[in-house]
Amino acid sequence: KDRWVEPIQINIHPNPAQDFFQLDINGKRKVEFVKIYNASGGLEAEWHGVGLENQNFHIGFLASGIYMVQTNISSQPLIIQK
> pLDDT tier at 47 (50, 70, 90 boundaries)?
very high
pLDDT at position 82 is 80
Rg (Cα) of the chain, in Å, rounded? 13
The rounded mean pLDDT for the chain is 87
Residue 73 has pLDDT above 70, yes or no: yes
Q: What is the mean pLDDT of residues 56-61?
A: 94
- Among residues 25, 22, 20, 21, which one has the least CA distance to residue 6? 25
Cite the beta strand spans of 1-82 per DSSP E: 10-13, 20-25, 33-37, 43-48, 57-58, 65-71, 75-80
pLDDT at position 60 is 95
Contact partners, residue 6, CB within 8 Å, separation at least 6: 26, 27
